[in-house]
Amino acid sequence: MKGFLKSFLAGLLALIVFFGILFFASIGVVGALATQEQVALEPKSVLVIDLSRSMNDKKLEDPFADLSGEEIYPDLSTALALIEHASRDSSVKGIYLVAADNVNGFAASSELKEALKQFKATGKFIYAYGDYISQRAYALASLANKIYCHPKGIFEWQGMSVELVFFKRMLDKLEIKPQIFYAGKFKSATEPFRETEMTEANRVQTTEWLNDIYNQFLEQVASDRKLNVDSLKAWADRYAFDRPEKAVAAKLLDGLRYDDEVKSEIRKQIGIASTDKINFITLPNYAKAVTLDNPYAKQKIAVVVAEGDIIYGKGMPESIGSEEYLSVLRKIRNDDDIKAVVLRINSPGGSSLASEIMWRELELMRKQGKRLVVSMGNVAASGGYYIACNADRILVQPNTITGSIGVFSIVPDLSSFMNNKLGISFDRVSTSRYADAPSVTRPLRDEEKRIVQGEVDRIYMDFKQRVADGRKKDINYIDSIAQGRVWTGKKAIEIGLADEVGGLSKAIEVASKLAKLKEYRIKVYPEPKSILDYVLQTYPTEFSRSQMKRELGEEEYMILGQYKKLKEMAGDIRTELPFQFNYK
């Protein structure tokens, strides 16, 4: 029997070792296959940019993309650099915008539009086309030399709307009591759990920032198309373009064309025969065909991409984990070749403690002599503003969502839900009165509520002080513009929460001037994961999330995420944007 067990265990160990070697060998093969191949750039090429593809601030990692044939669009920073490179590339004659939909946010679209304007200013053409054209796509495509829609397509022009989701009635039915604490009269992140509709304060701030963004959109289109803002607004108010030919008559479109007709026009533009194939090159393939950076410069500017919710601890690929970012920032601080840091923020905020941890490391970095410039993306609010406030300069887009300087906490009481709905009850023995506080299985006592509210008020005061010190303002003034209120980037400059308009490219330029750098290269952080880390850590999470999103749909997935967040918040002190929103 002993001999049998010995042989069995030896065989089992051999199998484990064999399959382990096979697994890692497979990973190596996949890595080799997934290595980017160089793409040849042909003369008279036309760069294709599909606005329905997301250009996130954080670079998407998928080593298997090349194997599956799927094109991964570059991150926003790379996309902007590619468009700038194309403007100087004699092989690229123009840009073809696929302008059916635009999944990129307000500020990201503004940055893309600025890069396209610079491209167009060189004399090269931009053609935009969509079988249908959404309003968000049109906001970016309006600068094109020619904008065409399918003759039987749809042209969307109907204004902007924000829809918030409220859970109070559902929580009432489930007998879940969200015990809520907050500081700042506009800090309405808890509204979905305590109200059935917007409070007046939230309606005021939402109306103001939405109209601010809408007016900026109308002004840009009016400038691009040489039209009147009042006319643009009136057309949306009466839904004037139920057929695309009406948009042509109003000069919002240059005509209605079929796809082949647009391509025939492009052939004439680049001077090739009607039977010749157009050398279209997608943005991902163009990235493989050119070299963007100066790899020989010794001095570096670090671009730290902080995108997603701010999470205490390690975090996830789509979040800003304090543990990971503390390690990244410390590594940058100790690198003598890095002279300046551009912190690119696209975050609604999150954990107050995680925000403070990152703020501290950024402050140490500045004291050590590195210059810090913040570039705000679509959203840099609450905790996202907390980690920005001590920068040397803060750059925004006019339609960036920022501010929301306020604090809240939720301690859900699940006792009635557990007892009455599930038949589960709880009992306890404690050595002291507060040993189990805060608990989600019993209501908070009055003195416990005072303790939680006191902690919220203390963190709110610290938050305001951080902002006052960073922006060199009186704390009473900061209190007057804080209160959890949301501001657009345009208003943030006016009230002193930001310094100037500019995107990531401008922020890098500002950082180089502050650090007095003539030659430098860009180093992006967090650094890409190894293929093994991707397979073991990132891929399973991303796969399950994408499957769930596909099954539920975008809105339902967002609602599920908000409900899940309620459960995770129990007792946590949050500095977070007061809403999640979908906009048309």
Q: Which residues, listed in sequence order, are joined to residue 523 by a DSSP beta bridge?
A: 302
Tell me how far the alpha carbon of residue 34 is from its chain's centroid: 26
Rounded-to-integer distance, Cα 26 and Cα 529, Å: 17
Percent of the chain whose predicted confidence (pLDDT) is above 70: 82
Q: What is the pLDDT of residue 189?
A: 84
Question: Confidence class of residue 442 from pLDDT cuts 50, 70 and 90?
Answer: very high
Give the tens place of pLDDT for each residue, 390-412: 999 999 999 999 999 999 999 99
Judge whether 111 and 396 are in contact, CB under 8 Å: no
Predicted confidence at residue 315, as pLDDT, reads: 81
How confident is the model over 19-29, as a mean pLDDT?
Answer: 48
Amino acid present at 345? I
Which CATH class, in words, describes the domain spanning 300-533+571-583? alpha beta
Mean pLDDT along residues 539-552: 56
* Catalytic residue of the set 134, 188, 347, 382: 382
Instruction: Pick the more confident residue, 577 or 273.
Output: 273
Residues 310-322 have a mean pLDDT of 89
Q: Do domains 45-157+241-289 and 300-533+571-583 have the same CATH topology?
A: yes
pLDDT at residue 118 above 50? yes
Average pLDDT over residues 456-464: 96
CA distances from 12 to 5, 8, 23, 422 (A): 10, 6, 16, 45
Q: How confident is the model at residue 582 (pLDDT cuts 50, 70, 90)?
A: very low
What is the Cα–Cα distance from 182 to 460, expressed in whole angstroms?
9
Tokens 């609450």: give the residue.
382
393 three-class SS: strand
Domain ranges for the chain: 45-157+241-289, 300-533+571-583
* CA 533 remoteness from chain centre: 23
Give helix then strand counts, H and E, for the chain.
24, 22
Query: Residue ranges of the alpha helices (H) in 296-374?
Result: 322-333, 352-367
- Radius of gyration, alpha carbons of the chain: 27
pLDDT at 583: 42
Confidence of residue 420 (pLDDT cuts 50, 70, 90): very high
Residue type, 194: R
| Residue 396 burial class via C-beta count within 10 angstroms: exposed 0-12, middle 13-18, buried 19 and up | buried
Question: pLDDT grade, residue 581 (50/70/90)?
Answer: very low
> What is the rounded CA–CA span in Å between residue 194 and residue 180?
8
Q: Residue 531 corresponds to which tokens in the numbers above? A: 């293929």
CATH class of 45-157+241-289: alpha beta
Whether the predicted pLDDT of 165 surpasses 50: yes
What distance in Å separates the CA atoms of residue 314 and residue 304, rounded to the nearest whole number?
16
User: Of 300-304, 433-437, 543-547, where does mean pLDDT reach its minimum?
Assistant: 543-547
Q: What is the pLDDT of residues 65-88, one digit of tens each?
A: 555 556 889 999 999 999 999 999
Tokens of 170: 């559902």
Q: In whole angstroms, give the CA distance from residue 520 to residue 338.
A: 9
Band the pLDDT of 292: cuts 50, 70, 90: confident
Q: How many CA atoms lie less than 13 Å away from 77 in the CB half-sphere?
A: 27
CB 141 within 8 A of CB 128: yes
Which residues have C-beta within 8 Å of that of residue 339, sequence separation ≥ 6? 299, 300, 301, 370, 371, 515, 517, 520
Q: Note if 567 is an active site residue.
A: no
Tell me the H-state helices in 432-503.
446-471, 475-481, 489-495
Which two structure tokens, joined as six digits, stand for 385?
A: 């503003």
Structure tokens at 418: 């557990």
393 phi and psi angles, rounded to 5 deg:
-145, 145
From 59, 124, 146, 187, active-site residue:
187
- In whole numbers, what is the pLDDT of the chain averaged over residues? 87
Q: How far is CA 413 from the centre of its chain?
A: 32
Q: Picking from 2-11, 333-342, 403-412, 503-512, which range would have the lowest pLDDT averaged per residue?
A: 2-11
Q: Distance between CA 445 and CA 440 in Å, rounded?
A: 12
The residue type at 143: L
Mean pLDDT is lowest, of 423-427, 438-442, 552-556, for: 552-556
More confident residue, 536 or 448: 448
Q: Is 382 a catalytic residue?
A: yes
